[in-house]
Chain A
Amino acid sequence: AQTVTQSQPEMSVQEAETVTLSCTYDTSESDYYLFWYKQPPSRQMILVIRQEAYKQQNATENRFSVNFQKAAKSFSLKISDSQLGDAAMYFCAYMKFQGAQKLVFGQGTRLTINP
């Protein structure tokens, strides 16, 4: 069974600084997707970024980028120029390629932005 581990229950960063959230996963599949979702106090899970495992290039969305290390099964999220609105729970998630559309989530990292 696939598992996703986020080893940092909480992180904090100064506004405008850069922070990296860690995620590791375990799978025997070669094709899959990895995601970072953000859950602010409004409770809605918001898709931040998505990475296809067959792509070597790391995904980037504005201030958000990932460091995808397939061999190490590591998928970290870097947030540059942190803003107060980035404060939220961040969840790393795995989905098997063409399979069941079932997301496997990590336990989450609570990110606090200090003004």
Chain B
Amino acid sequence: EAGVTQSPTHLIKTRGQQATLRCSPISGHTSVYWYQQALGLGLQFLLWYDEGEERNRGNFPPRFSGRQFPNYSSELNVNALELEDSALYLCASSFGDGNSPLHFGNGTRLTVT
């Protein structure tokens, strides 16, 4: 069974640009989650999508947005990049029953210069 896959592995952008990160969930999972892992800040919840809808959002500005496609894959978009957006972005998926454990991908390392 294929796990959660994320692309790209690494992404380098300049301040002010936009970044798009992609995630494919485990087959059968309908929920996708995004987490930011920044140095010194630990893992912070960003977004939760289920059945194409945004279900919950962490304490991040609106320039962090995303969507979930009919095949349950997801994109995270970060607009107007700032230096402090440099982090590892982890995607996770689960069954959309509210209680299933999350399974994570290997992450996308975003560097903003």
* Interface residues of A, Cβ cutoff 8 Å to B: 33, 35, 37, 42-47, 50, 91, 97-108
Contacts and interface: CB of A to CB of B under 8 A. Distances in A.
Interface of B: 3, 31, 33, 35, 42-43, 45, 48, 55-56, 58, 88, 90, 92, 94, 98-99, 101-107, 109
B55 A101 contact: yes
18 contacts: A42-B106, A43-B88, A43-B106, A44-B104, A44-B106, A91-B43, A97-B99, A98-B98, A98-B99, A100-B56, A101-B33, A102-B48, A102-B58, A103-B35, A103-B102, A104-B45, A105-B42, A107-B42
B49 to A, nearest CB: 10
Given A101-B31, A105-B42, 19 more contacts: A33-B99, A37-B104, A43-B88, A43-B106, A44-B104, A44-B107, A45-B104, A46-B104, A47-B102, A47-B103, A91-B43, A98-B98, A98-B99, A100-B48, A101-B56, A101-B94, A102-B45, A102-B58, A103-B43
A106 B42 contact: yes
Contacts of B31: 101
Contacts of B58: 102
Contacts of A91: 43
A114 B71 CA distance: 45
A107 B94 CA distance: 23
Contacts of B94: 101
Given A43-B88, A98-B98, A103 B45 contact: yes
Contacts of B98: 98-99, 101
Q: Which of A42, A98, A105 has the most CB of B within 10 A?
A: A105
Nearest to A37: B104
B45 to A, nearest CB: 5
A106 B37 CA distance: 12
B43 A105 contact: yes
The 5 closest A-B pairs by CB, nearest first: A45-B104, A105-B43, A100-B56, A44-B106, A98-B98
